[in-house]
Amino acid sequence: WQIQSLDAFGTFTRAEISAIGALVDYLELTQKGKLPLLRAPVRDVESGTVQIDAATRRSLELARSLSGSREGSLLHAIDRTVTAAGGRLIERRISSPSRDLDAVRARIGVVEWFASNNARPDGIRGILKRCPDIQRAVSRLALDRGGPRDLAAIRNALGLLPEVIVALAGERPGPVDAWLSDLDGFDVLARSLSDALVAEPPLLVRDGGIIAEGHDTGLDEARKLRDEGRSVIAGLQAEYANSTGIASLKIRHNNVLGYFIETRATHAQKMLSPPNSERFIHRQTTASAVRFTTVELSELESRILNAGAQAIEIETALHSELVRLVLSNGDRLGAAADALAELDVACAFASQAMDRNWCAPRIDDSEAFCISGGRHPVVEQALKTEGAPFIANDCDLSDEDDGRIWLLTGPNMAGKSTFLRQNAIIAILAQAGSFVPADSAHIGLVSQIFSRVGASDDLARGRSTFMVEMVETAAILNQADDRALVILDEIGRGTATYDGLSIAWATLEHLHETNRCRALFATHYHELTELAKRLEGVRNATVAVKEWEGEVIFLHEVRKGAADRSYGVQVARLAGLPQPVVDRARAVLEALERGEREGSARQKALIDELPLFSASRPSSTDARTVSELEEALEGIHPDEMSPRDALDALYHLKALTR
């Protein structure tokens, strides 16, 4: 930064200065002394962004899906940016939503302004789509890794800035005014680059052809000599032929002599006699020809051979001057690139809001969390491609009537995890400055978002699935403050039933009594629903299903109340478990439920009724059917049967299988 002390940028702690120094030292080491353009350090205060840990980012699939690909993530579903810088900014916004109330409101206000005029976002996006990546071009030039095309990219981008300014003329929100101010004042730099560079420069400086014709006189002369060397040689040959009176005189070239003048041997005496001998210098005599040179030809040869190198040298110097000019405007170019990225993201959010019927969230400093008609943007988009509707649901954690913690019960596959995730995603989108997929949304600023939905083992670190689940739960309970939003799915499922129930029970109580945060808690432990009677901030909710002719129909509707069944056996059948396994599971479930109702004595008797290997034995009905089939098959003698008898026998066998 060319200053003696960082105090010019503000007061920093020793730890902060050490961190800055370590980063600069790392850059000097890895970039071999070529530092990029570094902006002045700014303290990122703790209250600046929403705290989202790695486990939450992974489970919410913010930038990458669980498979590791971009497709299927929230970013993939909402990213409509048209510039590289805009794409990077929207990812930062989603990964680190703001906690600054004024900043969030300002961003949403800009999106609302763009969305109020359908043509405005499309017009700006059309211009931005043609805009190169200024940030990357400047960074490459600063690291001495750039080339002519980076200069051309900056030139082309600067040429589009007046179009952006004109397109945004009129009354504008404050942030847009600030962005346009950052885009103004590049006329001199843009003109310098436009005058100096060709329309399509080559990749490397050493390839030449960077600087436009007419920009530098010395370069033009060198190029002319390089490109028109043959015509100059031809003119000199005509002059020599005329002055000597030898029409057959030629100027030739080989790798040994270079350029030389050649005449037939019959003209040797004439060339070696005055006045020609004073001008032409003898080089070589062969059986049929005599070769000469002149001072003019030698000088011309030298200039022709050096013209290409001279042109490259001049272009390299001019290229370096342009790079220095660009880097001297590095800070302003960085601000302009940031402004273009902000415009790109705002237009992308507005375009999405209009196309997908999203609403502007109401953000304030309260502890409200009231979502009406909320939807999961990724799932909704996937269902839309299949022509299926997404069932929207409400969520109110405002602690007025509905409680700040919802205990969600319901069947597997009913949509509990989707409901949990969609509300966390709505909070992230709102504080990222976007409209949200809902009919309406009132959200008090969220300081932290924690998600424990789904788990897998971590063999490299010696952790089982249950251990990973407990570590993530511990991190939430130890860190969540009263402005956090927590979503927990099936805590305690990875261990014994009563152990898991106890852990889930205690976790829910801790969230209510100690963390006192807004939370969604999904579980299959129906015993937990009794806590809603004892804890005033806990409310029961369930995902509705409908039973019809033995089938379970998932309605995907979240309603008040508690579920009394999980329908796990029905879901297992839908998953394709063999029918004997499903039948056996249903019988065991009925027996277990009956045993639970009849008490511990009945429970012990139940164990005796369910021997370890009973599931593998065929039922009596199956055995009887097999026996009848065997008898029927033994009574069939194919060699003695007519076609009609064989057909009748086949019908009989088929009837036995029913």
Is residue 321 within 8 Å of 283, Cβ to Cβ? no
383 and 417 together in one domain: yes
* d(C-alpha 248, C-alpha 237), whole Å: 10
* d(C-alpha 526, C-alpha 530), whole Å: 8
Which are the contacts of 591, defined by CB distance < 8 A and separation ≥ 6? 606, 609, 610
Residue 549: burial class (beta carbons within 10 Å; 0-12, 13-18, 19+): exposed
What's the number of CA atoms in the CB half-sphere (13 Å) around residue 278?
3
368 and 496 together in one domain: yes
- Looking at residue 466, what is its pLDDT? 85
Please report whether residue 242 resides in a domain.
yes
Q: What is the DSSP string of 492-509?
A: TTTS-HHHHHHHHHHHHH
Q: Return the closest-CA partner of residue 5 out of 56, 40, 53.
A: 40
398 and 491 together in one domain: yes
Which are the contacts of 444, defined by CB distance < 8 A and separation ≥ 6? 363, 364, 365, 366, 367, 368, 369, 483
| C-alpha dist (Å) from residue 450 to 143, 441, 634 | 39, 20, 67
453 and 474 together in one domain: yes
Structural domain tally of the chain? 6
Please report whether residue 262 resides in a domain.
yes
pLDDT average per 10 residues of sequence, the chain (658 residues):
64 81 84 73 73 92 91 95 96 95 96 85 93 94 91 96 92 92 95 95 90 93 82 90 92 89 91 89 91 91 83 94 95 95 96 95 95 96 91 89 87 89 97 97 96 68 79 91 94 83 93 94 90 91 82 86 80 83 84 68 48 47 59 81 83 75
425 and 466 together in one domain: yes
What's the number of CA atoms in the CB half-sphere (13 Å) around residue 262?
14
Coil vs helix vs strand at 270:
helix
420 and 554 together in one domain: yes
Which are the contacts of 551, defined by CB distance < 8 A and separation ≥ 6? 570
Angle, in degrees to the nearest 10, between helices 134-142 and 148-167:
150
Coil vs helix vs strand at 3:
coil
- Looking at residue 13, what is its pLDDT? 78
* d(C-alpha 521, C-alpha 541), whole Å: 10
243 and 274 together in one domain: yes
- Looking at residue 169, what is its pLDDT? 86
Q: Return the closest-CA partner of residue 139 out of 300, 333, 355.
A: 333
Coil vs helix vs strand at 183:
helix
Coil vs helix vs strand at 147:
coil
For the entire predicted model, the pTM comes to 0.78
Coil vs helix vs strand at 47:
helix
Domain range for residue 6? 1-43
- Among the three residues 318, 346, 378, which one is the final residue of a domain in this structure? 318
484 and 449 together in one domain: yes
* d(C-alpha 424, C-alpha 438), whole Å: 13
User: Residue 11 pairs with which residues in a beta bridge?
Assistant: none
Please report whether residue 209 resides in a domain.
no
- Looking at residue 445, what is its pLDDT? 96
| C-alpha dist (Å) from residue 348 to 316, 433, 564 | 40, 11, 44
Q: What is the CATH number of the domain that holds 99?
A: 1.10.1420.10
* d(C-alpha 623, C-alpha 285), whole Å: 115
